[in-house]
Chain A
Amino acid sequence: MEHGPAIIQILLIIAAAPLFGGLITKIKNIVRLRRGAPVLQPYWNFFKLLGKSDEVISQHASWLFKAAPYVVISSSAAALLLVPLFGGFAAAGGMGDIVAVLFILALGRFFMALAGMDAASAFGGMGSSREMFISSLAETAALVSFFALALNSGSTSFAAIAGDGVFRASSFTAGFALFLVAIAETSRIPVDNQETHLELTMVHEAMALEYSGRSLAIIEYASHIRQLVWFSLIAGIIFPLPPPSGCGAALAAASAAVFALKLLALAVIMAFTEISLAKMRLFRVADLLMFAFVAALASAVLAAGGY
């Protein structure tokens, strides 16, 4: 069972994915001196939605609308397979290619955007249009930062990138650019707001507006997984550690703990970012993502110079 640990790690992470979102919300509420929802609230939402026996969908919707949630969750989970998590290795082993992750995530987004347009509602269309606009800019910034990371390690393979374990200025800058990208990709303030349900301002929520019951539960879970894909990626880049040598249960537990700590740190940073900023209007978001792109270019220049 060579892949045993990897599979256990993936299942653990998938099960724990909603926890990360709940944690960020909790931290935000603590800082705002509110009691807020329990950390496990995303799970309660998930099971509540699954409990609904009937889904009301638009009369205009086609088979694509029904199939989209499954494509979205399988693409998010497949992307997670490629990302190295605890031990510096990904579930898919040497197949983990950093560029491929972007394309696999794009598959889910493509179907989500199509589903948004399918219900013949202007809100869904608005959401799809904005999502594709934001993501096309974010993807560029992400790819250029990946380029910088790959220049450092000489390969776009995660095994090489994560196996490095050395702190570099270029990696840090790339991590910063990726953090801005992750804000956009996980629909957080200042790009989008997960807490609002005002039709005119939402992006991701607008695409999912027509969903209910099980399909909505799947879509929400998929966004939790996608969020974790981005944050584990960034955690591995901003806080580089050499991969653990040897194996054993104790070591696995230790590296899992380290991984959890990295994510916790990111959750705190994310929460403070969210509460200290206001949501931007769409064309300010474009500026923010252009800034991310410039940061990514800077990281590539640093990487080219050997820093």
Chain B
Amino acid sequence: MIPSITGNFAFLSDPLSLFFVFVIFLISAPAAIYSAGYLKGDYSGGKIKLAWLLLALFVLSMLAVVSASNLVLFLIFWELMSLISYFLVIFDSGHKKSIQAGTVYIVMTHFGTALITAAFLIMYRYTHSFDVLAVKEAAYLIPDSAKGAVFLLLFFGFGAKAGIVPLHIWLPMAHPQAPSHISSIMSGVMIKLGIYGIIRFAVFTMGISHLWQGEIVMILAAVSCLVGVIYALMEHDIKKLLAFHSVENIGIILLGVGGSMMFLVMNQPALAVFSMAAGLYHLVNHAIFKGLLFLGAGSVYKATGTRDMEKMGGLIKLMPQTAFAFLAGSMAISALPPLNGFISEWLTFQAIFAGALKSAGNGVMFWITAASALALTSGLAAACFVKAFSVTFLAAPRSEKASEAKESPFSMTAPMLFLAGLTLFFGLFSPQILRVMAQVAGATLGIDTQNMKFSVLNYGVTSGLENAGAVSGWLVLAALVLLGLAAFFGLRIFYGKQRFTAGRTWGCGYYASDSRSEYTATAFSKPFRIFFSFFLMPYRKTEKATHGGYHLKYFKYETHTTPFFRTFFYEPAVAASFRLAKKVRRMQPGSIHLYLSYIFAVIILLLVFRGKF
């Protein structure tokens, strides 16, 4: 009996859904325009048509996911979205890596879907409804232990899509393989739908009743932040680097969301709204700058034909607009003022700080640990983007292709510059935007925000933190611009115009140095590789051949890091399942008599246990 499937097929249009609809359009529209220029030339006519069709279906399926109000319908759209994005990941099916990445992606995403389905079935069992709002009404019928299980199933199920550690494994494989405008939508928007699922079903529908729920979210969020950024530092494939940063930023978003869950239990409604608003703010910010960065990486990829940063360099002169947009994105993701990443990381930090103020004893240490994870993450992210930007765009070109790169057409640069403008817009209008985020968060958490004052300038008034810190994007921008101009014109008035002569780079008197003597991405990340060697476990491979023992003919040196989760978790798991499959295979020796006896045995079993089913 499946009554509710025929029931309510209405669509949700509450603030949370509308917010996600907004985010989907905000990134998809520029990405679609960008794809017009990006696909041209590199793909055949039929393939381009297919790309447009899949893009349209992909966006539609995401819109359907965030507006479905029926659990079954949600699952159908969720699955549709996963399948369409799978086809987009293997779109460049000529590459062997694409197929492999697609396979890992589809396995991981179905693992998540399985958990989500299980959670929905448990919810249905107690509430007898598949309608989100009806389940929310009847959520009190679900016993506490089942609630805990549902929460974990939902968190890990949606977490697999969002890319939280240790379920992030597919993300750095699948995102780089997709065409760049798709990577931009996948990283900017699709993984956020995992966050949507957590907020919609775990927080909104089921409600949060225990502190451990928020704690587990925050712990995994902090781990995701650090693991994501450390792996990103080691990467010299520009799109993989960006994909690892998505893991990091999902962690930052979940720090806000998890904080909000904890505040709900701590009975701090104003702070719960504030923390959730900080998370949502970072969510939209990450969509903007990560969308932008992937588009920039795609532009570079189209111009140079490689994703390896070590073969780039000097592109700032050849591709000035792409470089400018990528710089804006890099600054935003490194949380530099006055761009948007700065505001939302600052807000997340304030939320964590408020958590420490409102708890006692060991609770304080928990928040302090979260704060230090966030602090280290933001420092490492800045280092990583100094590397990413400077190795790609600065200094002299490291390969012939890079020295012949050309700026992308207007249809590709315009969307990037638009998103670059948004990074500034979302930084400057933070007081207004945070208020909107607070309304979304309030509506989702069922907390009235009518009389609450939420802005980066005075959030403390309502959350019970008198004279809380405040930050104004405008003021910071004004100070920076005015002081910079003062220095520039002050010196110009007294000492005249600045004059430059181009000369050779200092090489300790050795003037034959070329682009091979530049610092590379691998060299740049060496201190980090050594410092985090306990986790990265770097190893070297050397190969050398000598002439008669003395004269060196050639020398090859490679350095690698051990992918922790793959080596110690996924590979053993895959190997074990293969071993198991081999054992199971003995059951199928090909003898029809044996198979008939299996059928007989099953019938007997069913008859014996008939009453139990």
Contact = CB atoms under 8 A, between A and B. Distances in A.
Are A and B bound to each other? Answer: yes
Interface of A: 50-51, 53-64, 66, 70-71, 73-75, 77-78, 81, 92, 94-95, 97-100, 103-104, 106-107, 109-110, 113-114, 117-126, 128-130, 132-133, 135-140, 142-144, 147, 150-151, 154-157, 159-160, 199, 209-210, 214-215, 218, 282-283, 286, 293, 297, 300-301, 304
Given A55-B500, A293-B372, A304-B364, A50 B495 contact: yes
Contacts of A56: 500-503
14 contacts: A54-B501, A56-B500, A60-B396, A62-B394, A71-B480, A73-B487, A95-B472, A119-B506, A133-B383, A151-B353, A155-B465, A215-B498, A300-B365, A304-B365
B328 to A, nearest CB: 12
B6 interface: no
A128 to B, nearest CB: 6
A59 B506 CA distance: 11
Contacts of A55: 498-501
B466 interface: yes
Given A66-B498, A100-B346, 12 more contacts: A64-B316, A92-B475, A106-B335, A114-B386, A117-B524, A120-B515, A125-B519, A135-B382, A136-B383, A142-B375, A144-B368, A283-B530
Contacts of B391: 117
A215 B524 CA distance: 25
Interface in B236-282: none
Contacts of A126: 519, 523
Contacts of A54: 499-501
Contacts of A104: 337, 476, 480
Contact of B507 (A71, A121, A139, A142): A121
Given A151-B357, A304-B368, A58 B504 contact: yes
Contacts of A109: 382
Contacts of B390: 113-114, 117-118, 125, 128
Given A58-B504, A118-B395, A297-B372, A100 B527 contact: no
B29 interface: no
Nearest to A79: B479
Contacts of B356: 147, 151, 304
A97 B470 contact: yes
Nearest to B394: A118
A242 to B, nearest CB: 16
Contact of B372 (A97, A130, A140, A301): A140
Contacts of A301: 365, 368
Contacts, number: 270
Given A59-B502, A156-B350, A95 B507 contact: no
B382 A147 contact: no
A117 B475 CA distance: 30
Contacts of A64: 316, 327, 394
Interface string B490-520: 0100111011111111111000010101110
A215 B495 CA distance: 12
A92 B472 CA distance: 11
A107 B394 contact: no
A98 B469 CA distance: 8
Interface of B: 313-314, 316-317, 327, 331, 334-337, 342, 345-346, 349-350, 353, 356-357, 361, 364-365, 368, 371-372, 375-376, 378-380, 382-383, 385-387, 389-391, 394-396, 460, 465-472, 475-476, 479-484, 487-488, 491, 494-496, 498-508, 513, 515, 517-519, 523-528, 530-531
A159 B470 CA distance: 11
Q: Which of B356, B361, B470, B508 has the most CB of A within 10 A?
A: B470
B376 A132 contact: no
Given A100-B476, A117-B519, A143-B372, A199 B527 contact: no
Contact of B376 (A75, A140, A214, A283): A140
A129 B487 contact: no
A133 B408 CA distance: 34
A94 B470 contact: yes
A97 B353 CA distance: 13
B395 A119 contact: yes
B364 A107 contact: no
Contact of B368 (A66, A119, A297): A297
Contact of B506 (A103, A130, A210): A210
A140 B349 CA distance: 12
B371 A143 contact: yes
Nearest to B501: A56
A209 B368 CA distance: 39
A154 B467 CA distance: 8
B515 A100 contact: no
Contacts of B508: 199
A62 B337 CA distance: 23
Contacts of B382: 106, 109-110, 132, 135-136
Nearest to B502: A59
Nearest to B531: A286
Contacts of A214: 491, 495, 498
Q: Which of A54, A60, A297 has the most CB of B within 10 A?
A: A60
A120 B396 contact: yes
A293 B376 CA distance: 11
A59 to B, nearest CB: 4
B318 to A, nearest CB: 10
A106 B317 CA distance: 25
Given A97-B469, A140-B375, A304-B368, A74 B481 contact: yes
Given A60-B396, A74-B484, A147-B356, A130 B527 contact: yes
A210 B527 CA distance: 23
Contact of B469 (A61, A110, A157, A209): A157
A13 B471 CA distance: 23
B429 to A, nearest CB: 17
A133 B383 CA distance: 7
Contacts of A123: 506
A150 B353 contact: yes
A96 to B, nearest CB: 9
B435 to A, nearest CB: 19
A255 to B, nearest CB: 21
B32 to A, nearest CB: 31
Contacts of B530: 283
B475 A121 contact: no
B506 A121 contact: yes
B86 to A, nearest CB: 36
Nearest to A137: B379
A3 to B, nearest CB: 13
Contacts of B527: 129-130, 133, 282-283, 286
Given A73-B484, A114-B394, A128 B501 contact: no
A59 B314 CA distance: 11
B483 A77 contact: yes
Contacts of A71: 480, 484
